[in-house]
Structure 1
Amino acid sequence: MTHDVHHFDMGLWLLVLAYVVSVTGSVVGLACTRCSATAPQGRDRLRWLVMASIAIGGVGVWLMHFIAMLGFAIPNGVVRYHLGWTVASAVLAIAAVFIGLITIGRSVHVLRLLAGGVITGSAIALMHYTGMWAMQIQGSITYDRTLVAVSVAIAIVAATAALWFTLVLESPLLRFVAGLVMGLAVTGMHYTGMAAIRVSVDQNAPVPQGLEVFSFLFPVFVIGLLALVAPITAVMLAPDRDADESPTETYEEVAPVRQA
């Protein structure tokens, strides 16, 4: 027998906070992605992509997920989280986003962009469902397969669009819009995925072991925000190669004409 669950047990303000965190990580990560496209090959480019992966996968996706999970509650039920799977979900998100960003390359190529969008969007979904696997309850959880498929599609389509914006648009303001799109993808995918769950509670089952989300989220939240300091500083100090690569006019000095 399925059991009703609450997704906004602490109020709708938590949805706003989750979206803001996701947008922040996405904007910083996409800015690093843009810098990687104009950076020299080698360690410089890899350093940008690592920072982008941590910002998008670690903050924009993983941290957003567990902030949103603060609002998840099962009336008369206990919810705990397995530490190993919780950590694994963060590692998977960062690694998968890194692979997706490597795939898209430096410029727009349709096949690479589609492949990178699929990998990055799938990374968002992978993190979500791995994070849900970490959740322990008194009973069992099943999923509506249609809504699961819709949630994955949302993540892939919006992630692809955000990556395209990042590679094509030179305006920082429009690239910020790309961050809003990716934040919408992450948040939309999360709550669509949450709408897919069906919970069956067994009061006779043993109380699950593990951590409460409050016990690890605050220190992780602080660490996540501190992790953004390095990429934000790097982006602010990075030379504007887009401007440097713009064509400049050259003038040749014309020798005076001698009169016969």
Structure 2
Amino acid sequence: MVELLAAADAETFGRGTGVAWLAYDLSVLGALVAFACVRHAKYSLRFRLIWLLMAAVSLGGVGLWLANAVALLGIRVPDAAMRYNVALGATGLVIAVVGVLAGLLISGRTPQLPRLVVGGLTMGLGIGLSTFLTLDALRVQGSVDESLGFIAISVLVSMALSTATLWAAQVVRPVWLRVVASLMFGLGVVAVYYTAVAALEFTIDPGSRIPSGIALFDLVFPMFVIGALGLTLPITAVLIAPDRRDSAEPNRPAQPVGAR
């Protein structure tokens, strides 16, 4: 008779908390770069879409998807081999970037509550679906089931996180406040991810064959390198791009000399 191991045997921090901190740092860095890109997009007409695309890659690709993938390295299931479905993982990456880009486009340049809500819901659905697909790509010796209740909570949290992030991207100006907003975004990603992880229910069959797919580290390590190198493009663009805030308001009436 084959022995089955319960879901409680899956260790979320099976390889220590260092992996979780690395994932959090990626979320914060991706958000910080994205906020800077959105700031430039606000005052750029010609290159607005390019700035928003870089912001979507930084926020959705690195700050969300790559951070979640790195955090997955911390999950350990004793006496069971784990593999990763690359197709599902890649789909989650694309959805994360597209969802963030859609949210940024819908929310517009200036804070408008209806657009922020619609953009936040759109972006939140993308983040929630991406997180679900990233976790659903896990394969173990046995089966992995999901709790619909925790998945629903995760999606709701992702919607709230997305709406707050879009609002912050539009109204936050000082650099130190962007850092604070990025730290809060990282905490939001942590909440979405670990709520989704709580939805996973592992049933392990040590006697079954090793599942198809690749070892997670074999996917995450090259993606980590690519993501780190990929951030150099928006970071370089932010550093060398001219500040368009003054030229973006040509219609603003000039004040008389001496006016207060």
TM-score, with structure 2 as normaliser = 0.90
* Shift in Å, 1:203: 2.6
User: Within 2, Cα distance between the matches of 1:144 and 1:89?
Assistant: 19
Aligned residues: 250
Q: 1:118 maps to which residue? A: 121
Q: 2:99 maps to which residue? A: 96
Contact 1:163 1:178 in 2 (8 A): no
Cα deviation, 1:95-148, whole Å, max 9, x if unaligned, reads 111111111111111111011111222222111111122111111112222222
Q: 2:39 maps to which residue? A: 34
RMSD of aligned residue pairs (Cα, Å):
1.8
Q: Percent identity?
A: 36
Cα deviation, 1:38-69, whole Å, max 9, x if unaligned, reads 211x5x11100110111011100111011101
Contact 1:58 1:90 in 2 (8 A): yes
Specify which of 25, 30, 42 is matched with residue 25 of structure 1.
Answer: 30
1:83 aligns with 2:86: yes
Structure 2 letter corresponding to 1:100: G
* Shift in Å, 1:245: 5.3
TM-score, with structure 1 as normaliser = 0.90
Contact 1:138 1:201 in 2 (8 A): yes
Specify which of 167, 171, 175 is matched with residue 168 of structure 1.
Answer: 171
1:226 aligns with 2:232: no
Q: 1:257 maps to which residue? A: none
Specify which of 10, 15, 23 is matched with residue 20 of structure 2.
Answer: 15
Q: Secondary structure at the match of 1:242?
A: coil
Specify which of 212, 215, 219 is matched with residue 218 of structure 2.
Answer: 215
Contact 1:143 1:196 in 2 (8 A): yes
Specify which of 113, 129, 132 is matched with residue 129 of structure 1.
Answer: 132
* Shift in Å, 1:205: 2.5
Gaps of 5+ in 2: none
* Shift in Å, 1:176: 2.1
Q: How is 1:43-192 mapped onto 2 (pairs within 5 angstroms)?
A: 44-192=47-195
User: Within 1, Cα distance between the matches of 2:215 and 2:136?
Assistant: 15
Contact 1:18 1:64 in 2 (8 A): yes
Contact 1:28 1:232 in 2 (8 A): yes
